[in-house]
Amino acid sequence: MKWIKENALSLTFLVLFVLALGGQAVAGALQFNDEQRVMGAEPVSILEYVVSSNFAVDVAENWQSEYLQFLLFTVLTVWLVQKGSPESKEPGSEGAGSDDEQMVGPYARENSPAWARAKGLKLWLYSNSLGLAMGAAFVGSWLAQSVAGTAGYNAERLAELRNPISWGSYLTSPEFWNRSLQNWQSELLAVLSMVVLSIYLRQRGSPESKPVGAPHDVTGVTA
Amino acid sequence: MRLPLALLALALAAACSIDTTAPARAAERFHAAVAARKDEAACAMLARRTAEKLPDPGETCPQALQALELGPGGRVTGVEVWGDEAQVRMAGDTVFLHRYSYGWRVKAAGCEPRGDLPYDCEVED
């Protein structure tokens, strides 16, 4: 019970993620089968739909944009600040921070992670591991989107009696960039909204917000 | 990280295990039936909607197919399969097929390319 309470945030998002992905699979299969009927093709089962390129590209295009959002947010907030936003560091504290502030190398505490005590590449990797993980997930998802997207797009083209195209051609196609950019713009708007609105608006009790009574021009203070 | 890679692996595995022989054989059988004037058999190899749309009012599918006088298909020079759709390029024709639970059926034949636009086909749905 204590474990569940201490991990309630992750568990809740995990359950919501699984429910949403399951819902997407069901709704996606119903929509796909509706299109199949129009084309005179046979309906597919949910399982067949889930392993299809159509489902894969829809999932991957959303994943890549989410990971891109967190990659940019994680890395850009090292160097860029927003006065008054609890999502930002204080103006003047831009940069990676000193070893003392970051508790690495000789400044590592007794309970610091082992790699925080390391030197060289190991320390660099661990010091940037969050951004690297987000970046790798972004690149992997985007690559998956391009591969699955090529397959789905070519099936559509063949159904329209058109020649299929190569993966390289798909990477420069309007279809690929429309799918990518329509996701990116929404993620970027969401981050912009969060950074700016949190200067002036409050959510009592949330670590994403400043305390309700905190002045608008105070930066980096959370409840 | 693992899930996107698993998706990629799945897509690549699916792409690598594609059977191009079955649609190629279906296209060859269709053209062999047309060449042998077995128009009824050729009509049975068409996708249902293609077979329904082919004849004019008062005409049957075999009659319509015979009237078209499709040229010979020739040997298969290339096959593309994406999902349930296939394109079989032959020396004398390009054939488009769809995969049903009961096998590949011809959606379009007697097709001429028009650049990036859809092929112009004598038989199509």
CA gap A182, A161 in Å, rounded = 27
The reply to whether A94 and A177 lie within a common domain is: yes
CB-CB neighbors (< 8 A) of A167 in chain B: none
**Mean pLDDT throughout B103-114?**
97
Residue among B1, B83, B86 whose CB faces A151 most closely? B83
DSSP class of residue A94 equals -
Pair (A31, A57) in one structural domain: no
Residue boundaries of the structural domains of chain B: 20-123
Q: Based on the domain organization, do A44 and A64 belong to the same domain?
A: no
Q: CA-based angle A130:A131:A134, to the nearest 5?
A: 90
Per DSSP, the three-state class of B69 is coil
Q: Are residues A116 and A135 in the same domain?
A: yes
Using 50, 70 and 90 to split pLDDT, how confident is the model at B8?
low
Q: What is the pLDDT of residues B23-42, one digit of tens each?
A: 999 999 999 999 999 999 99
> Taking CB atoms and an 8 Å limit, are A143 and B8 in contact across chains?
yes
Tell me, yes or no, whether A184 and A136 share the same domain: yes
**Same domain for A132 and A27:** no
Domain encompassing residue A29: 1-51
Q: What percent of chain A has pLDDT over 90?
A: 97
Helix, strand or coil, per DSSP, at residue A102: helix
**Same domain as A59, residue A43:** no
Residue A92 identity (one-letter amino acid): G
Task: Give per-residue pLDDT as tens, A62-71.
Answer: 999 999 999 9
A104 and A137 assigned to the same domain: yes
Long-range contact set of residues B114-118: C-beta below 8 Å, sequence gap at least 24: B116/A162, B116/A163, B117/A162, B118/A160, B118/A161, B118/A162
Q: Does residue A88 share a domain with residue A155? A: yes
Interface probe, candidates B8, B99, B114, chain A, greatest A C-beta count within 10 A: B8
In chain A, the number of structural domains is 2
For the domain made up of B20-123, give the CATH fold: Nuclear Transport Factor 2; Chain: A, (3.10.450)
Same domain? For A23 and A117 the reply is no
Q: Are A154 and A57 members of one domain?
A: yes
ipTM of predicted assembly, 2 dp: 0.88
pLDDT tens digits for range A137-149: 999 999 999 999 9
What counts of helices (H) and strands (E) characterise chain B? 5, 5
